Amino acid sequence: MPCRHDCIHRLCQFFWLRKELAGIYATGLCLTLLVALLSVFPTPAVQKSELALYDVMLANRTQAPQSNVPVVVGIDEDSLATFGQWPWPRYRLALLIEQLQQLGAQVVALDFLMPELDRTAPEVIQSERQRDQIEAKNTSTPPAHPAPSAPTKTPLYDDNSQRLADALGRGTTVLGYYLDFSQPTASGRSLHPPTAPAGMVVSRSFHGTGQWPQPQGQIRSLPLLTDAASAEGFTNALQDLDGTLRRIPLLLTSPQGQDTPSLALAAALLSSPQRSLRLDTDPTGAVLHWGARQIPLDGSGNLLLDWRSSAPRYVSARSVLQGSMASGSLRGNIVVVGAWAQGLGDRHLTPSGKSVYGVAVHATVIDNLLSGTFIARPSWARGAELLAVLVAGALCTLFLGRPGFAWSVWVVVLGTVGLYTGARQLLVQEGLHLSPLLPIATLVLISSVLSLLKYGFEARKLLLRTQELSEAQDGIITSFSALSETRDKETGGHILRTRRYVEILAEQLSTTPAYAYLTASDIELLGKSAPLHDIGKVGIPDSILQKPGKLTAEEYAIMQNHPLIGAQALAKVMARTSASASHLKKKNFLDYACQMVEAHHERWDGKGYPHRLSGPAIPLAGRLMALADVYDALISKRVYKRGFSHDEVRQILIQESGAHFDPDVVTAFLAREADFVRIAEEFADPPPAPDAAVN
């Protein structure tokens, strides 16, 4: 039979372990699929987190500008202090451009719009003055029949703009303009297409996708100026969800349907004899071919900016206009002119957390294009990240299905470090951007959840083992109690009833301030101790223990030793377990049992035995059992005595309060006496056999 039970136990353990593993694997699979779903359909929170992680990894790629060609000429605070407020008269801009051309600038790109006449030109001032005087006259009290006023003719062009156009036409220049993607502008489609660099040809085997932005309108400079310039380029920049500038469009379709480059691309094309562009695809996604350069674009046709650790070469416009620069100091440079003073120009937040002016952005794009260093977000990146999520989830689940906490830690640490380091090296060394966020999140999420799940399984096992130990402990206690029953006149019902009486008394006492320290665990241990209260009777001779008549003084003295016999037996057990339980701060079962066995015959007035303790010196366990034992002995019917009624016993206990019994315990009994009656009826002894008699 033992072998059969052992086999059944082992079989149950096997199926339980299989059930645990199935639960772990199923949970890991569900979590992996959840993260995979986020990889395919990323939420704004996921996208922002990926962008933040990209910025952290990009910080390791920072390097100095790779090309010394782009130069920024800024309209800064010193320039405004010297030459006055912005916008400047266009004759001054013409002087600036002429000076740059004399210094050897190969290309001059203007990063501002001039869609209206120069308000500082004399003819424009005169025209506006006449218009304002006529309007003021018309708004005053008019005669009954006012004579019609001659209309004021606004000039189509002004001398300042013509002067600027002449300067633009004498060199290689690019004018910036703005593409509007929200709605058509008033002049958006009525004008001729923006001027492309001469000789620019765009061929394409790839026509983009629906994600490529389609402008609806445009804001350009005066036709006089655009006709004079060598080319035009849009100045639009694209901010991500978190307001940071990481990418910029290079080639878009104008509202007239023509291919049009950005300001930076147009300037770079004008600096090179190679002006053929081809939009194509390769394994990494969309690619713009320019000569030997392969410029990677993202799914919306944008270039990921490879930001530099330092700003491009900078020159103040004041230095140029005052002629303080050395002759030929800008020979071969592409000069980007724009606002550099606080409150004038557009500023953009970069991944490093710094804010830069728009002219610096254009210079950075030119540097990227000419140096050939790019960051690519390949078209297969999202698929690779999805695969990494699935592999990370599968491996993490597989390893965490094994026993041991160390596996969880190593899987998360090594996996996280490996994924982050690998993605960072790809970005830093190869300029290839793959986000490790979701694969790392998969490891952390699965490891956390499965570790908690495994902890839950282990806690359940521990609970079951604790219950088994508790049941085994109860069985041992019952066996000891049964041993004493075989030699004593008491019955098994007495053991069950006294245990419940002790628990009820302890529960009631715990509701009072003086005994609030009694916890549920203490009450349970006190109840478990009750069946052992007379275990010492096994050491009393049968002639005394089972004597039907009254004991002699000598026999009664021997009987009074049974608390000491039981306490000494339990003390030996406690001595063997004291080393392993020395770290415990609270009392355990054996402590309460020993106190109850030794003190349950002590009296409150000090006339009990074996130590004649009195009052609070008697352990609480002994005081509880004293009342419970006497109550059950009085109320129970025996062949050698009648059973007292509950009311009779109640009166006896009240009379003995402060003499035999602790008054607090008697008070607890009176508060719960209904429970005592119920317990006495529920566990009542069976009636004695007809032939039972006292020997």
Do 351 and 394 lie in one domain? The reply is: no
Q: Taking residues 3-14, report their average pLDDT.
A: 49
- Per-residue confidence (pLDDT) for residue 353, from 0 to 100: 87
- Per-residue confidence (pLDDT) for residue 109, from 0 to 100: 97
Domain termination residue (choose one: 332, 352, 371) = 371
Domain termination residue (choose one: 329, 346, 371) = 371
Q: For the chain, how many structural domains are there in total?
A: 3
- Per-residue confidence (pLDDT) for residue 502, from 0 to 100: 95
Q: Taking residues 327-339, report their average pLDDT.
A: 94
Residue 547 sits in which domain range?
487-682
Do 351 and 385 lie in one domain? The reply is: no
- Per-residue confidence (pLDDT) for residue 485, from 0 to 100: 57
Q: Write the pLDDT tens digit of every residue in 620-631.
A: 999 999 999 999
Do 500 and 430 lie in one domain? The reply is: no
Do 663 and 569 lie in one domain? The reply is: yes
Instruction: Report yes or no on 205 lying in a domain.
Output: no
Instruction: Report yes or no on 354 lying in a domain.
Output: yes
Do 604 and 505 lie in one domain? The reply is: yes
- Per-residue confidence (pLDDT) for residue 478, from 0 to 100: 60
Position 553 pLDDT exceeds 50: yes
Contact indicator for 295, 250 with CB cutoff of 8 Å: yes
Do 48 and 169 lie in one domain? The reply is: no
- Per-residue confidence (pLDDT) for residue 441, from 0 to 100: 94
Instruction: Report yes or no on 655 lying in a domain.
Output: yes
Position 642 pLDDT exceeds 70: yes
What is residue 653's three-state secondary structure?
helix
The better pLDDT of the pair 153, 540 is held by: 540
Instruction: Report yes or no on 65 lying in a domain.
Output: no
Do 668 and 615 lie in one domain? The reply is: yes
CB-CB neighbours of 71 under 10 Å: 21
Residues 529 and 495: their CA atoms lie apart, in Å, by 10
Instruction: Report yes or no on 287 lying in a domain.
Output: no
Position 218 pLDDT exceeds 80: yes
Do 446 and 497 lie in one domain? The reply is: no
Q: Name the nearest CA neighbour of 176 among 265, 76, 262.
A: 262
Least confident segment among 211-215, 270-274, 324-328, 466-470: 466-470
The percent helix, strand, coil of the chain (3-state, each to 5) is: 50, 15, 35
Q: Taking residues 11-21, report their average pLDDT.
A: 57
Q: Taking residues 351-362, report their average pLDDT.
A: 91
Domain harbouring 634, CATH code: 1.10.3210.10
**For the residues of 347-412, what is the DSSP string, one character each?**
EEE-TTS-EEEHHHHHHHHHHHHHHT--BB--TTHHHHHHHHHHHHHHHHHHHHTSS-HHHHHHHH
Q: Taking residues 543-563, report their average pLDDT.
A: 83
Q: Write the pLDDT tens digit of every residue in 503-527.
A: 999 999 999 999 999 999 899 889 8
- Per-residue confidence (pLDDT) for residue 2, from 0 to 100: 45
Mean pLDDT of the chain: 83
What is residue 210's three-state secondary structure?
coil
Residues linked to residue 638 through DSSP beta bridges, in sequence order: 641
Do 362 and 383 lie in one domain? The reply is: no
Q: Taking residues 409-420, report their average pLDDT.
A: 88
Q: What percent of the chain has pLDDT over 90?
A: 47
Q: Write the pLDDT tens digit of every residue in 561-617.
A: 889 988 888 888 777 765 444 444 456 777 888 999 999 999 999 999 999 999 999
The better pLDDT of the pair 208, 59 is held by: 59
Position 207 pLDDT exceeds 80: no
Position 404 pLDDT exceeds 50: yes
Q: Taking residues 631-638, report their average pLDDT.
A: 87
**For the residues of 92-110, what is the DSSP string, one character each?**
HHHHHHHHHHHTT-SEEEE
Do 384 and 423 lie in one domain? The reply is: yes
Which residues does 622 contact at the CB level (< 8 Å), separation at least 6? 595, 596, 598, 599, 600, 601, 602
Select, from the ranges 207-221, 301-315, 431-445, the one with the highest average predicted confidence (pLDDT): 431-445
Position 476 pLDDT exceeds 70: no
Position 255 pLDDT exceeds 50: yes
Instruction: Report yes or no on 231 lying in a domain.
Output: yes
- Per-residue confidence (pLDDT) for residue 583, from 0 to 100: 46
Instruction: Report yes or no on 587 lying in a domain.
Output: yes
C-alpha dihedral over 392, 397, 398, 403, to 10 degrees? 130
Do 576 and 521 lie in one domain? The reply is: yes
623 burial via Cβ count (<10 Å: 0-12, 13-18, 19+)? buried
- The pair of structure tokens assigned to 17 is 């372990």
Q: Write the pLDDT tens digit of every residue in 445-460.
A: 988 888 888 777 777 7
Do 445 and 491 lie in one domain? The reply is: no
- Per-residue confidence (pLDDT) for residue 217, from 0 to 100: 86
Q: Please, which pLDDT band fits residue 529 given cuts at 50, 70 and 90?
A: confident
